[in-house]
Amino acid sequence: MGVGMAIAERFFEAKFNQPGHEIVNHFTYAIVSDGDLMEGIASEAASLAGHLKLGKLIYLYDNNQISLSGETKLTFTEDVCKRFEAYGWHIQNVEDGNDIEPVSRAVKKAREETERPSLISVKTHIGYGSPHKQDTFKVHGSPLGDDEVTATKKNLGWPLEPKFYIPEEALAQFRKAVDTGARLESEWEEKFNSFRKTYPEFASEWENMMNFKFPDTWDKDIPVFPPDPKGIATRSASGKVMNEIANHIPSLIGGSADLNPSTNTELKGKGNFQSETRLCEFPDSADKKVQGAASGVWGYGGANIAYGVREHAMGSISNGMALHGGLIPFAGTFLIFSDYMRPAVRLAALMKLHVIYVFTHDSIALGEDGPTHQPIEHLASLRAMPGLTVIRPADANEAAEAWKIAVMHRHGPFALIFTRQNVPVIDRDKYGSAEGIKRGGYILADSAPHKPEVILIATGSEAHIAVEAYERLKTENIKARVVNLASWELFEEQSEDYKNKVLPRDIKARVSIEAGSTHGWHKYIGLDGIAIGIDHFGASAPGEIALEKFGFTTENVINKARERLGK
């Protein structure tokens, strides 16, 4: 997350600072432990930070050689500083973390380093063993008990009362920090007022970004896709839509984990986020165009972040950018690889961060890459996460509507689920409007004015199969309704009256169709409903063959509807 905050600082610095008007110039600090630096995500994020030359990123490494289970010599004996030096970081060592002056000098040197992020290894001591010995203290994850608190205070020479004791020196330092903060904020406001007078358009854009205020016409150029039985992959439609949105909302920034153009997440003409010195390493050729230089957007002003194969770091960096403020970060990868970034997605949900995930290649229709790449349990798994909204559009126009919802969704992360394969663009003059997915679920096709005998409930690429089955059942005089349940979370936010109108409680004959795990579907189809899904791993085959072999066909849906009706 610290790397994400540092990226945001560089982006705003490049976008807004003007000669004589420096309104963005701050450092990002963190304190990290041995345990933090053991984690794989630390290596992912540190490697990218070194590559991006994020010189305003300063980490103090609390090098106490203790982790939860004991001394680090049990598990962690590498030379951490050399590892970070290899990542391109500026390294310093402080031998005594209790000596404030050397720590201050090291921080000052780190601030003077303009291109390399800094790691300051600070040697400290942490005791372990019995709290009743004068020179040692127990290490554990629980709060200190009364006896341990007393022993600690005696060791420090602090008074035993009051129970919650703050030394006067510490209190004075905190008060000083509050006063200093107020002064610095006032000075910045003066700078910004001067900036506003000289560059009113930039100042207005800054305030709009920081307050997530969009132009009234921000969605006017989002394409509308004509009906087409051959169709378009929703990942492709997503790419067209997000590029139009980015032309009106400069807050959109992000990238994919080494999967462009497969995820269609490149913001065309918006440049690649790189240090200028790194960009200059590319020759004047097509390589430079890849880096975004041809668009005239160089370096840290670029909105496309090349994450490399670093899904976990990508997720957490997106969280850091969202926490910084003013940005709407997006992160793209195949749905199967959401596993790698799941801890970061969970934290975004926990913190209610506005992060947009673009998860493509959403089913066994992925094809020949086989079961290692074909998501099965992933939709169910993401839906189980509190605070995360998941939406799986049925066609290109629903993909456009899904993006509109995601951009305006301000109370948590949003997962957009898109297909690799082409899916028909549904004729909205004949069937329900694509805007229906704003409510999570809606009636796509119906037997009105007659009451339906059976309800077919589908999402994503399976919605058109349900519609085809509906049309065939109609020729057999079987009255069916098709419900597109694109987002369970949005549907559950609707009134009970609306939900009952879409899925009437008295209609028990229901069939769900989704190319993923059937887990959770019985909430909507009932215990007697039939779930067409896949509860085992897939197989390597062309996508259309995999779908056919595993029962995602019009004929199978019709047969299951007949079976449920006893016909």
* DSSP per residue, 368-391: TT-TTTS-SSHHHHHHTSTT-EEE
| pLDDT of the residue at 69 | 84
What CA–CA distance (Å, rounded) separates 529 from 454?
Answer: 10
- CA neighbor of 342 nearest in space, from 320, 322, 312: 312
Contact assessment for residue 347 and residue 271, using Cβ atoms and an 8 Å cutoff: no
Q: What is the pLDDT of residue 67?
A: 86
- The pLDDT value recorded for residue 137 is 46
Rounded-to-integer distance, Cα 171 and Cα 466, Å = 67
Helix ranges, 79-124 (H): 80-86, 100-112
- Which are the catalytic amino acids? 311
Give the torsion through C-alpha atoms of 529, 535, 540, 544, to 10 deg. Answer: 10
pLDDT for the residue numbered 289: 44
Exposure string of 270-280, with b = 16+ CB inside 10 Å and e = fewer, is bbbbbbeeebe
pLDDT at 129: 45
Best CA proximity match to 7, nearest among 348, 408, 320, 298: 320
Residue length of the chain: 567
d(CA 383, CA 165) in angstroms, rounded, equals 46
Q: Which CATH class is domain 228-424?
A: alpha beta
Q: Tell how strand 480-484 and strand 442-445 pair up.
A: antiparallel
Q: Interior CA angle at 248 toward 246 and 253, to 5°?
A: 30
Conformational region of residue 303, where left means phi above 0, alpha means psi within -120 to 50, and beta covers everything else: alpha
User: Which residues have C-beta within 8 Å of that of residue 498, sequence separation ≥ 6?
Assistant: 439
Name the token pair of 36. 């933090």
Global pTM value: 0.93
Q: Give the three-state DSSP class for 134.
A: coil
Q: What crossing angle do the helices spanning 338-351 and 311-324 adopt, rounded to 10°? A: 20
Sheet strands side by side (includes 442-445): 442-445, 480-484, 454-458, 510-513, 530-532
User: Which residue from 224, 232, 221, 222 is spatially nearest to 428, judged by alpha carbons?
Assistant: 224
Comma-separated ranges of CATH 3.40.50.920 domains in the chain? 440-565
pLDDT tens per residue across all 567 residues of the chain: 999 999 999 999 999 999 999 999 999 999 999 999 999 999 999 999 999 999 999 999 999 998 888 889 999 999 999 999 999 999 999 999 999 999 999 999 999 999 999 999 999 987 544 444 444 444 555 677 889 889 989 998 999 999 889 999 999 999 999 999 999 999 999 999 999 999 999 999 999 999 999 999 999 999 999 999 999 999 999 999 999 999 999 999 999 999 989 999 999 999 999 998 777 776 554 444 444 444 445 689 999 999 999 999 999 999 999 999 999 999 999 999 999 999 999 999 999 999 999 999 999 999 999 999 999 999 999 999 999 999 999 999 999 999 999 999 999 999 999 999 999 999 999 999 999 999 999 999 999 999 999 999 999 999 999 999 999 999 999 999 999 999 999 999 999 999 999 999 999 999 999 999 999 999 999 999 999 999 999 999 999 999 999 999 999 999 999 999 998
Q: Are 280 and 15 in contact (CB under 8 A)?
A: no
Predicted pLDDT at 356: 98
When computed from its CA atoms, the radius of gyration of the chain, rounded to whole angstroms, is: 28
Is the CB of residue 424 less than 8 Å from the CB of residue 449? no
At residue 278, the pLDDT reads 76
Q: Report the DSSP beta bridge partners of residue 417.
A: 359
* Torsion region of 282: left, alpha or beta (phi above 0 gives left; psi -120 to 50 gives alpha): beta
Q: How many CB atoms lie within 10 A of CB 207?
A: 13
DSSP track, 381-428: HHHTSTT-EEE--SSHHHHHHHHHHHHH--SS-EEEE--SSEEEE--T
Structure tokens belonging to residue 156: 């420090």
Cα within 13 Å of Cα(493), Cβ side? 12
Tokens at 322, concatenated: 């969202």
| Long-range CB contact pairs, 127-131, < 8 A, 24+ | 128/66, 128/70, 128/71
Which has the closest alpha carbon to 132: 144, 147, 142, 143? 147
pLDDT of residue 126: 78
Q: In the structure encoding, which two tokens stand for residue 71, read together?
A: 């001394």
User: First CA to last CA across the chain, in angstroms?
Assistant: 57
pLDDT at 288: 47
CATH for 440-565, options being 3.40.50.300, 3.40.50.920, 2.70.98.10, 3.40.190.10: 3.40.50.920
Q: Write the secondary structure of 439-491 as one string of H (helix), E (strand) and C (coil).
A: HCCEEEECCCCCCCCEEEEECHHHHHHHHHHHHHHHHCCCCEEEEECCCHHHH
Q: Which segments of the chain belong to CATH 3.40.50.970?
A: 2-171, 228-424
Superfamily of domain 2-171: Thiamin diphosphate (ThDP)-binding fold, Pyr/PP domains (3.40.50.970)
73 Cβ neighbours under 8 A, 6+ residues apart: 65
DSSP state letters, 5-62? HHHHHHHHHHHH-BTTB------EEEEE-HHHHHSHHHHHHHHHHHHHT-TTEEEEEE
Task: Say if residues 440 and 492 touch (Cβ distance below 8 Å).
Answer: yes
Q: Is 365 helix (H, G, I), strand (E, B) or coil?
A: helix
